[in-house]
Amino acid sequence: MRQKTILIHTLFILSLSAGLSQGADEKILMTVAGMDVEAGEFVRMFNKSLDPAYRIETGEYLQQFIAFKLKVADAMEHGYDTTIAFREELSGYRQQLAQTWLIDPDIKEKTLKKAYHR
Return the pLDDT at 26: 80
Provide the residue range defining the domain that includes 37. 1-78
Q: H helices within 22-104, ranges in order?
A: 39-48, 58-77, 84-102
The model's pLDDT over 67-114, given as tens digits with 9 standing for 90+, comes to 999 999 999 999 988 999 999 998 998 888 777 667 777 777 888 888
**Secondary structure class of 79 (helix, strand, coil):** coil
User: Are residues 96 and 71 part of one domain?
Assistant: no
Q: Which residues contact 43 (CB under 8 A, 6 or more apart)?
A: 16, 20, 25
| Domains of the chain: total | 2
Q: Is the pLDDT of residue 24 over 70?
A: no
What predicted TM-score, i.e. pTM, was given to this entire model? 0.55
User: Are residues 52 and 3 part of one domain?
Assistant: yes
User: Are residues 90 and 68 part of one domain?
Assistant: no
Banded model confidence at residue 46, pLDDT cuts 50, 70, 90: confident
User: Are residues 3 and 21 part of one domain?
Assistant: yes
- The better pLDDT of the pair 42, 17 is held by 42
